Every structure is written in C-alpha cells, then in structure tokens.
Amino acid sequence: MENTRPIIILKKKGGHGGHHGGAWKVAYADFVTAMMSLFIVLWLLNSSKQVQEAVGGYFKDPTGTSKKIGSNLAGSGENFTLTKDNMPLLKDQLELKLRQMDSFDKLKNHIEMTVTADGLRIELLESASGTFFDSGRPELNADGREMLVALAQELAKLPNKISIEGHTDSKPYASSGNYSNWELSTDRANAARRLMQASGVGPGQVTQVRGFADQRLRKLDDPLDASNRRVSLIVQYIVKNNDQDDAMPSTENAKPPDEKKKDSLK
C-alpha cells in the first residue's frame, strides 16, 4: 500500500471556440463602403446642377475640369462662365459679398437681384430722399459708390458682358432748360459704368449703357413711386454651343421688371 501511486484526475475547463479568422471584418468594411456610396449618391441626386457638374468634372479630369464650376468665384477668372444653368450661383455669391458691407443693413431693402431670361438683373432702387444718388443729381453718393465698387470687384472676375440701364419716375425733372429725365437716367447709368470700370470691370465688358427715363416703370400703378428711380445692371448669359437653339431674347423685348419675381436682400 505504501508503494501505490496517487491517482491524478485532470479536468479541462470549458472555453470559447477556436479562432474564426478576420473574414467578418472584410464583410463589415464592404457593408460600410456600400452604405457610404449610397449616401453619396442620394446626396448628389438632391444637390444642385452646379454641384453635380463639379463632382462629375472632377472624376473626368481631376487636374482641371473641376475648377470650372465651384462654390466660390474668387480666382476663377475665365474658367467660370455663367450660363442659364449656373447664374443663381453668382446671385448667391454677390449677396454674400454685399452682406460684408458696413452699410448693408441700411441698403439691403434697396437692392434686388432677379434671375431673368436675359441674365442676372441687379436693381439699385432709390428712396424718396435718395439712396445711391442724391435727389435730382447724376453723381453717385457715398453709399452708391460703396455698393457699385463691391459689385464691380465680383463681376470683374467673369467673362460675361454687362448692360447698364438708368430709369426715373414720371415726375418731370425740376431744373429748367433742355435737361430732362432722359438725360438724368442716361447720366446715372454712365456714372455707374465709369465707377465700375475704374473698380476692375474690363473696358470691353460693358456692352450697353442706356437711359429709359420713365418708359419702363417698375411700378406701373404708381409712376411717381421712388423705386421707379433706379439703375439696373444686367449680367448677360454666355450661350453654350449646344444651347444655340435656346438663344437669349433681347433685353429690349424682356418683360417689365414688375412682372418678374424679385428678391431683395434681407
């Protein structure tokens, strides 16, 4: 009995199964990638045409095409061409620029931007006491100069042509002699042209400077309303080669501004 060996019982503890490998990680990564791709596609489907063209242009030519359309006009130069498809982008960019002006709160109800059949129409509207021009005067005041310089700095970056129009209300010009609302409306449009070209707009960029006196009233039912006195800047579309059949109508045949939707800066 003394030489009998003790009996030793070995018990194995239960544990987890063997290693399953990393296949599940690959499957999970594929799932996440597919979901991300789905979200990108859904975002693109609900994005503006400008964003869709920018993304598509990048994949076609990552070195250059994507620069033609973007969210900022700065530095775009001749690569940024405003057509009917992307004119609202300029409107948004100009509104952002004008909000940086010190006098924006005072002037925001006196400027309207409207995308029309001819291009982007920018209206600088007068008040009873004068906003951009002193009453009866063809020279721009300080607010008018600040506004037009800000606009000119942005429009100078574009290859698009610009037309400038001057308008008055139906109240006869107070001064005696041969100077009338016709001369006043033309002189105000020319004053705007001179300042804009001095602020960067190219000499060949302005194609028309016209004075209409009271012949194109903004408010037909109130010909003496102060807002009929205004200077209008029309940034014209550049027609793409494949859009020649949809060429722009002349500004002379355009609807009066009061028949279009207007957006004042709020």
pLDDT digits (tens, 9 = 90+) for 24-33: 888 888 888 9
pLDDT tens string 66-78: 344 444 444 444 4
Predicted confidence at residue 266, as pLDDT, reads: 57
Token pair 């063997």 is found at 18
Predicted confidence at residue 23, as pLDDT, reads: 80
Of 154, 151, 175, nearest to 164 by C-alpha is: 151
Predicted confidence at residue 233, as pLDDT, reads: 96
Residues pairing with 114 in the sheet: 121
Distance CA 35, CA 189 (A): 56
CB 165 within 8 A of CB 231: yes
Determine which of 53-62, 113-122, 135-144, 158-167 has the lowest per-residue pLDDT on average: 53-62
Instruction: Identify the helix (H) or strand (E) that includes residue 155.
Output: helix 142-155
Residues pairing with 199 in the sheet: none
Distance CA 264, CA 210 (A): 23
Mean pLDDT of all residues in 230-238: 92
Three-state DSSP class for 246? helix
Predicted confidence at residue 212, as pLDDT, reads: 96
Q: Which residue has the higher pLDDT, 82 or 167?
A: 167
Predicted confidence at residue 251, as pLDDT, reads: 44
What share of the chain has pLDDT > 70, as a percent?
73
* pTM, 2 dp: 0.62
Predicted confidence at residue 135, as pLDDT, reads: 85
Q: Which CATH class is domain 71-264?
A: alpha beta
Residues ≥6 apart with Cβ < 8 Å to 265: 95, 98, 99, 104, 108, 109, 111, 112, 113
> Domain residues of the chain, as ranges?
24-70, 71-264
Of 155, 126, 81, 115, nearest to 254 by C-alpha is: 115
pLDDT tens string 88-133: 888 888 888 888 888 888 888 899 999 888 899 999 999 888 889 9
Q: Which residue has the higher pLDDT, 184 or 26?
A: 184
